[in-house]
Amino acid sequence: MHSRGSTRNNRAHPTSPSFVSDYQSGNDYDSLRKIPSTSSRVPPNGYHYYEPSTESAVSNGVYVPNGQYSSRNTFVESNFSLPPLPTTSSSSGRSQLRLNQCPEEEIKRYPIFPPTEEMQQRATNRLFEAESNPLKVLYAGDATYKPDKGILNKTRRSYFVLTHRYLLVYKSAQKAKAEIDVFEHRTAQPSNSKKSNNSIDKDHIFMNLSNIFAVHAVVTAVNTFRIDFLHPQSLQTMSHVLTVDTSKECTQWMQALREAISVYHISMETVSSGERHAAIDRVSKQKDIFDNTDDMKMYKVVFKEKRYKAASGDMPREFFLPVILVFGKFSFYLLPVTITDDEYLKAVERDRFGYLSIQSIRYEGLDDTVCIEVRQVNKQSRQLVFASTFCEDIVRYLYRSIDSIIQSPSSLSLFRFNVPDHIKKAHIMPFAIAPDPEDEITGHDDEEIQTFNIILRAYTAALNLNKARFNFTIVGPPKEN
């Protein structure tokens, strides 16, 4: 039985002891890492959690070769919270009030999410400018690379040139200088004046930036990063692994690539129409889709895990698997790219995770990697690690989903949100969740019952329970506005 009143102090709480204990026991984030013991370097479940860095990074980060991320900057666990919200189920009303209560300079400093039409138009203009301007050299240097798939699967040492449209490859710096003015000008003009600025030899185009969907460090190798991309014709997921001479170079390459690729976000589609329909069909089985399926956000990401094998001694191996990340109303999903994917079943284990099972979200800003820790019923917390060029949008969508369910500024207290300030302080607008059809049929569709039902549906999703099995009665007069 639930008594009427403010839902802020009367939230539905899970009753599973194992579910609650990890969150309320006082253990900090680091203590929940699964570290192989000295007596046995092979964890029972065969894979190893990615450990958080002791210092997190935003702008001054460096990648260090011990499998960790490090930086001179440290996240401050501030008590920042968005302005108080009214107790209402109206998403538009909450969003408008939130904006009205924010100082104008704060709105200018920290972005609104989802982007407004004006913001989208500015992004489109940036893309048009990038595609119409002459090629411009953004970064260049030697690297050793090895393709993940293909006939020519052997390591090579080459000279790479990053422009705002392509990543180019040459046998040497001298060969690159013979075709483009890499060193004397910041514009990559062909050395032969008879050539146009767009007449780069196709043989030197290593990849088109608009096809890249992840740039991330390989934590089990020194000074190494990986680029995942879609084949321009077949849309098959492919990758290249590049190794450079120093950790500073590795960081600079990743940051330069990520910044150049971000210009193409406004036009990028990493999920095909067939994959999208299959994903919507899966989510609809949980009754977790939005009324307008066009609002369903999904991205192709690279799922990552470190595994220890007895035969390999103490050295872990890092496994990468392309999956589709889908956002529902109450859960997020990690779905296979192909239906018959044995490696997917081995790595992901389950495909649905309730938003309220999230214990922490960590994004350090050094590469495209996002780390989510989720609670499990009668199990230890599990870490989900993946990389995507849309990593910052993904983090914002996760927070937005939780905030839309809880409808309270205290939503940030439910999980650890270790992200840069420009994400933590962004003006993230909640979305409206439609009332449960059963409540509308029985006439129990007033504001408080809707709010209680939304939270109950979210907790049953987090606990893998069936909401239809819950019987409850709300007594007392409706709350007066």
Highest mean pLDDT among 204-218, 398-412, 461-475: 204-218
Q: Is 197 helix (H, G, I), strand (E, B) or coil?
A: coil
Name residue 157's beta-bridge partners: 144
Q: Using an 8 Å Cβ cutoff, are 331 and 349 in contact? A: no
For residue 107, name the pLDDT band (cuts at 50, 70, 90): low
Instruction: Count Cα neighbours of 384 within 13 Å in the Cβ-side half-sphere.
Output: 23
Q: What's the rounded mean pLDDT across residues 197-222?
A: 90
For residue 53, name the pLDDT band (cuts at 50, 70, 90): low
- 379-423 pLDDT, tens digit per residue, is 999 999 999 999 999 999 999 999 999 887 777 788 999 999 999
Q: Over 80: is that where the pLDDT of 286 sits?
A: yes
**pLDDT of the residue at 150:** 55
**pLDDT of the residue at 42:** 40
Q: What's the rounded mean pLDDT across residues 275-294?
A: 92
Here the tokens at position 117 are 């039409």
Radius of gyration of the chain (CA): 24
Alpha helices by DSSP H, listed for 285-390, are 342-348
Closest CA to 224 of 232, 233, 215: 215
Here the tokens at position 192 are 């032969």
For residue 21, name the pLDDT band (cuts at 50, 70, 90): very low
**pLDDT of the residue at 401:** 95
Q: Over 70: is that where the pLDDT of 77 sits?
A: no
> What is each CA distance from 199 to 40, 165, 196, in whole angstroms?
57, 13, 5
Better-predicted residue by pLDDT, 427 or 246 = 246
Q: What angle do CA 261, 283, 322 make, to 5 degrees?
A: 40
- 335-375 pLDDT, tens digit per residue, is 998 766 677 877 888 899 999 999 999 999 999 999 999 99
User: d(Cα 342, Cα 338) in Å, to the nearest integer?
Assistant: 10
Q: What angle do CA 245, 247, 252 make, to 5 degrees?
A: 95
For residue 459, name the pLDDT band (cuts at 50, 70, 90): very high
Q: Is 114 helix (H, G, I), strand (E, B) or coil?
A: coil
For residue 7, name the pLDDT band (cuts at 50, 70, 90): very low
Q: What's the rounded mean pLDDT across residues 241-266?
A: 97
- 110-157 pLDDT, tens digit per residue, is 778 999 899 999 999 999 999 888 888 999 999 999 766 555 567 889
> What is each CA distance from 94 to 41, 85, 97, 397, in whole angstroms?
50, 6, 5, 17
